Structure 1
Amino acid sequence: MNARIVQAKLIDDNHSLNGKLVDLRIENGVLTEIAESLSAKKDEEIIELKDLHVSAGWFDSSVSMGEPGYEERETLKNGLQVAAKSGFTGIAVNPNTKPVADDSAVINFLKTKSSGHAVDLYPIGALTQNGAGIDLAELYDMQQAGAVAFGDYQHAIKNPNLLKLALQYTQGFDGLVLSFPQENDLVINGMANEGETAIQLGLKGIPALAEHLQITRDLYLLEYAGGKLHIPTISTAQSVALVKAAKEKGLDVTCSVAITNLFYTDAALHDFDTRYKVLPPLRTEEDRKALVAGLEDGTIDMVTSDHNPLDIELKKLEFDHAKFGTIAQEATLGALLQLVSAEVAVKALTKGRERFTGVRTQVRTGETANLTLFTTEGTNTFTKEQIRSKSKNAAFLGAELRGSVYGIIANNQFIAS
């Protein structure tokens, strides 16, 4: 594609023109010029939009697709379109498929089926065989096939020796290990944050302690074994403090927060609406504020949508029986801009790519154009009409959001929202 982006505010704190209005020229998919003003060239598409902002393309570190095996929830083709129209140029896809992505064959399927799209798909391989938490999966083979990290989605590793071995083994090929932060023996049949709301509603609790114990254990294992650890979707104030202390000790650890936990508290559960049944559960206002503060000071490395499409048979049930999960990609920018500045939002939406893929996407001349276009202006109420996913289990329905995504430019394609 050949295009000129006109008078866009550049959000890139490593660029000399950060915060300035600039023109950007793309020729055959490569970013060839960036300046405060560029003259027109023949046969180039003009992209000129109100309050246009541009940043490096966003990366979502936790996305569930469905395919293979659960195509009724989401297909790869539609899911990649959802990601593109939500502003993401890269997504890490969880291994909760059928079959579980625990060998090179499934990883190859995901890579092959997703090729040619504007959005790059990066598979996360299961850490253990069939995600059962007993024996390590074929980690090296999956890495060779294209897996960028290894973890059992929303399943904690009970056996500490297994996690220790994974951290040691993956050092041989610079692999990234994910460990879901939950001590399962403290969460038997838990449905919601253990606290006042759960007591009032008669719901079995998931104590914050379960998260703190698992993170503390995993950080001790990381200090002992070495390696690279990512803790997905932390949800409490104490978890932020634990990760911050580990980073100050020099441990190679990162963490993410789900946009739902950043935006909502367990007060949303009072109507027993299963759209708000997520894992980790929505916590207290104190926790939510600590998560925002942790994002702003850099303790929390990235925000994920933790996008998990589920069909109506799994969500429109009594609260106890409904499955954990919500879709959130379509609302991620709008929710985030209600909480933090555009600069903080962009950092949170771009930092994950380097951690997971080893590649840092930048707005630089000579680089393949990998950009997200958005506006920070305007507020809107999120409605069903804005849902592009096949599944409709959206916690953000009715939420007041700020700004919107205009589209992405990636892999020599412009996808408008």
Structure 2
Amino acid sequence: MNVLIKSATIIDTKSDFHNTTQDILIEKGKITKIAKTIKNTSNYKEIKLDNLHVSQGWFDSSVCFGEPGFEDRETIENGLKTAAKSGFTTVALQANTYPIIDTNTDVAFIKMKALNNAVKLLPIGALTQNSESKHLAELFDMSNAGAVAFSDYKKPITNPNLLKIALQYASNFGGLVCSFPQENKISGQGVMNENITSTSLGLKGNPSLAEALQVARDLYLLEYTGGKLHIPTISTAESVDLIRNAKKKKQDVTCSVAIHNLCLTDSELEDFDTHYKVLPPLRTQSDVDALIEGVKDGTIDMVTSDHNPVTIEDKKVEFDYADYGTIGLESAFGALQTLFSTKKTVQLLTKGKARFNAEQTLINEGNTVDLTLFNPDKKYTFTAKNIHSKSKNSLFLDKELKGEVYGIIANKKTVL
């Protein structure tokens, strides 16, 4: 793969060329030269795009594709194409398939399906067998097969002793344990945030208390056991405060927030639109403000699209019966840019790499190419034509976003 990128503004705070506009010569998958002007003496393919910016390839710590078992929602092949067109060069795949990814052979299958792709796929193994929160899955074997973390997607570990054992056991090989922050006995049958909006709509509420209790429990367990804990997709002000205090105690904990929980509130549900039925639910403006502050001060370590394709048959039903979930890869960059600067957005989209053992490659001469190409200034309305996923369940439909993704150059492949 030989390519010459012309007049690209480099956004990479650790690169020698950060915030400068350069030509970038790529030969055989490596950056061989970066300079103000590079002549195309070898007649390589040139990439010239409007207001072109490049950064390190983006990473998403939580995506779902469906395959195996739910190919009607999404396949690995099309899911990775969607990720590439959305600017992501690496994604961590959740285990909510059929069968659940809970053995080393399951992990090997997922990795095989993603071979020779521009986007690198990192499997997340289930924390418990069949994600039933009864017995630990084969954590060590899955780690050896390539699993980068262990999580029961959207399912809390109901037995605290099981999480205690998981943290202790995984610490023997540096395994990352993920614990979904919800206490089911408190959340009950709630389908949206418990607040004045849920009362006025007559929908059962899922209170912020359900999340805060679980986060507090998990942090106490982490303090007792040691190990590495990741709390995915927090949504409340209380969770931000609890994790901030845990970090002050030097506990080895990270957390993420879904991008839609940073941008939208529970007021969106006033028309009973099931696109907005997500878990954790959209919360109040005060929660959103606290989450954004947590992102800014580093309490929240990373953002995720929490990309979860759901078929129209499972969304276009009464609100109580609709499945949770939204796709988010395609809208991730544009949504974040409505809240943060381009530099901060790129930082958020690359920051989770270290925690999930994803390769980090600076934009410097001699390094392997792993680039995302984009125009940070284009404003547009997000519509169905912007969706590459098989499922179309986006809660950003008809929202004004900022920033156009051109594609990626990674793993010796170009997707534009």
Aligned to 1:342: 342
Counterpart CA distance in 2 for 1:361 and 1:290 is 32
Deviation at 1:364, TM superposition (A): 2.5
Counterpart CA distance in 1 for 2:338 and 2:327 is 18
Counterpart CA distance in 1 for 2:228 and 2:14 is 25
Aligned to 2:352: 352
Q: Establish whether residue 200 from structure 1 lines up as the match of residue 200 from structure 2.
A: yes
Equivalent pairs, count: 416
Deviation at 1:105, TM superposition (A): 1.5
Aligned to 2:320: 320
Contact 2:16 2:364 in 1 (8 A): no
Counterpart CA distance in 1 for 2:92 and 2:152 is 13
Aligned to 1:277: 277
Deviation at 1:48, TM superposition (A): 1.6
Counterpart CA distance in 2 for 1:210 and 1:36 is 54
Moved more, 180-189 or 358-367: 358-367
Q: Establish whether residue 55 from structure 1 lines up as the match of residue 75 from structure 2.
A: no
Counterpart CA distance in 2 for 1:88 and 1:166 is 30
Aligned to 1:333: 333
Aligned to 1:224: 224
Deviation at 1:410, TM superposition (A): 0.5
Counterpart CA distance in 1 for 2:298 and 2:53 is 22
TM-score (norm 1): 0.98
Aligned to 1:36: 36
| 1:78 partner SS | helix
| 2:355 partner SS | helix
- Give RMSD over aligned pairs: 1.0
Aligned to 1:27: 27
Deviation at 1:46, TM superposition (A): 1.2
Contact 1:9 1:54 in 2 (8 A): yes
Contact 2:235 2:261 in 1 (8 A): yes
Moved more, 359-368 or 340-349: 359-368
Aligned to 1:69: 69
Aligned to 1:88: 88
Deviation at 1:35, TM superposition (A): 2.8
Q: Establish whether residue 172 from structure 1 lines up as the match of residue 172 from structure 2.
A: yes
Q: Establish whether residue 144 from structure 1 lines up as the match of residue 144 from structure 2.
A: yes
Counterpart CA distance in 1 for 2:191 and 2:143 is 35
Q: Which residue type is aligned with residue 290 of structure 1?
A: A
Unpaired runs of 5+ residues, structure 1, are none
Counterpart CA distance in 2 for 1:180 and 1:133 is 12
Counterpart CA distance in 2 for 1:179 and 1:43 is 52
Contact 1:156 1:182 in 2 (8 A): yes
Q: Which residue type is aligned with residue 259 of structure 1?
A: I
Q: Which residue type is aligned with residue 106 of structure 1?
A: D
Moved more, 213-222 or 129-138: 213-222
| Correspondence 1:87-126 to 2 at 5 A | 87-126=87-126
Moved more, 1-10 or 379-388: 1-10
Contact 2:316 2:322 in 1 (8 A): yes
Q: Which residue type is aligned with residue 52 of structure 2?
A: L
Deviation at 1:267, TM superposition (A): 0.5
Counterpart CA distance in 2 for 1:304 and 1:141 is 27
Q: Which residue type is aligned with residue 405 of structure 1?
A: V
Q: Which residue type is aligned with residue 239 of structure 1?
A: S
After superposition, what is the alpha-carbon deviation per residue over 1:280-326, rounded to whole angstroms, capped at 9, x for unaligned?
A: 00001111122122112222111111000011111111000001001
Counterpart CA distance in 2 for 1:36 and 1:344 is 25
Deviation at 1:38, TM superposition (A): 2.7
Aligned to 1:251: 251
Counterpart CA distance in 2 for 1:228 and 1:37 is 46
Q: Which residue type is aligned with residue 95 of structure 2?
A: P
Q: Which residue type is aligned with residue 212 of structure 1?
A: A
Aligned to 1:5: 5
Deviation at 1:262, TM superposition (A): 1.0
Contact 1:2 1:43 in 2 (8 A): no
Aligned to 2:381: 381
Contact 2:104 2:145 in 1 (8 A): yes
| 1:313 partner SS | helix
Q: Which residue type is aligned with residue 138 of structure 2?
A: E
TM-score (norm 2): 0.98
Q: Which residue type is aligned with residue 137 of structure 1?
A: A
Q: Which residue type is aligned with residue 271 of structure 1?
A: D
Q: Which residue type is aligned with residue 80 of structure 2?
A: L
| Correspondence 1:405-416 to 2 at 5 A | 405-416=405-416
Contact 2:17 2:364 in 1 (8 A): no
Q: Which residue type is aligned with residue 360 of structure 1?
A: Q
| 2:338 partner SS | coil
Counterpart CA distance in 1 for 2:72 and 2:54 is 34
| 1:365 partner SS | coil
| 2:354 partner SS | helix
Deviation at 1:358, TM superposition (A): 5.1
After superposition, what is the alpha-carbon deviation per residue over 1:115-157, rounded to whole angstroms, capped at 9, x for unaligned?
A: 0110001110000000000100000111111111001000001
Deviation at 1:39, TM superposition (A): 3.1
Moved more, 16-25 or 46-55: 16-25
After superposition, what is the alpha-carbon deviation per residue over 1:29-61, rounded to whole angstroms, capped at 9, x for unaligned?
A: 111222333333313221121111111000011
Q: Which residue type is aligned with residue 62 of structure 2?
A: S
Aligned to 1:302: 302
Unpaired runs of 5+ residues, structure 2, are none
Q: Establish whether residue 186 from structure 1 lines up as the match of residue 186 from structure 2.
A: yes
Q: Which residue type is aligned with residue 147 of structure 2?
A: A
Counterpart CA distance in 1 for 2:268 and 2:30 is 45
Contact 1:265 1:285 in 2 (8 A): yes
Moved more, 371-380 or 265-274: 371-380
Q: Which residue type is aligned with residue 339 of structure 1?
A: L
